[in-house]
Amino acid sequence: MFAFKHVALFVGGTLFGTAGFKLLKSKDAKKVYVHTTAAALRAKESVMKDVTRTRESCGDILAEAKVLNEQKRAKAAEEAVIIEDESGAEQ
């Protein structure tokens, strides 16, 4: 009885697999594959546009941050010169 159950499961699985394989090869299934692949390609294109837009935005932020840092360095250097001049005048 135990062996019969295993044989029956094997035969059922084989038949189910064969039917499934034929279903996967059908024209209707091919249409589903094509539409799914087309949707995935559209999604990829949309994501890549967002990634490109984000990279450009990050590049702009980086450039502005560098300019800001340069301005702060110049201002700090200018203040350091003024402090040195004032301290030299007091002595």
pLDDT tens digit sequence for 19-61 = 776 777 788 888 988 999 999 999 999 999 999 999 999 999 9
Distance of CA 47 to the CA centre of its chain: 7
This prediction has a pTM of: 0.50
State the Cα–Cα distance between residues 53 and 72, nearest whole angstrom.
Answer: 29
Percent of the chain with pLDDT over 90: 45
State the Cα–Cα distance between residues 91 and 86, nearest whole angstrom.
Answer: 9
Distance of CA 84 to the CA centre of its chain: 52
Query: Domain spans of the chain?
Result: 2-90
More confident site: 76 or 64: 64
State the Cα–Cα distance between residues 11 and 5, nearest whole angstrom.
Answer: 10
